């Protein structure tokens, strides 16, 4: 099943994704190059935590962060190596209104 999620670039290593009105149990995270080739891919299980609202009415929830390491020719891609020991790119999925 395909769902529409939106993302925004926070900085060179971080993207934030929104999943309006849904809280998926798993996700596949992919990094693509300009030609659409997959540079890295990872399947992840998501654990959601409500960060607002109430138990009765639900509210915004968050999960993550999720790391995705990018390697180019056997080494960590320069844009992924800045600031993190693991050379990981962080993605933080977020959902509003999930119960």
Q: What is the pLDDT of residues 36-93, one digit of tens each?
A: 888 888 999 999 888 888 888 888 888 878 888 877 655 555 444 333 333 334 444 4
Q: 89 has which bridge partners?
A: 68
Neighbours of 98 (CB within 10 A): 20
Q: Output the pTM of the full model.
A: 0.59
Given this model, what pLDDT does residue 89 score?
41
Structure tokens at 59: 């509210």
């Amino acid at each position: 099943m395909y769902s529409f999620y939106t993302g925004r670039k926070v900085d060179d290593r971080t993207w934030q994704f929104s999943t309006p009105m849904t809280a998926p149990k798993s996700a596949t995270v992919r990094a693509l190059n300009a030609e659409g080739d997959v540079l890295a891919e990872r399947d992840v299980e998501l654990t959601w935590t409500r960060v607002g609202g109430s138990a009765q009415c639900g509210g915004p929830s968050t999960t993550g962060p999720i790391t995705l390491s990018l390697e180019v020719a056997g080494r960590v891609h320069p844009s992924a190596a800045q600031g993190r020991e693991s050379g990981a790119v962080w993605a933080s999925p977020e959902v509003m209104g999930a119960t």
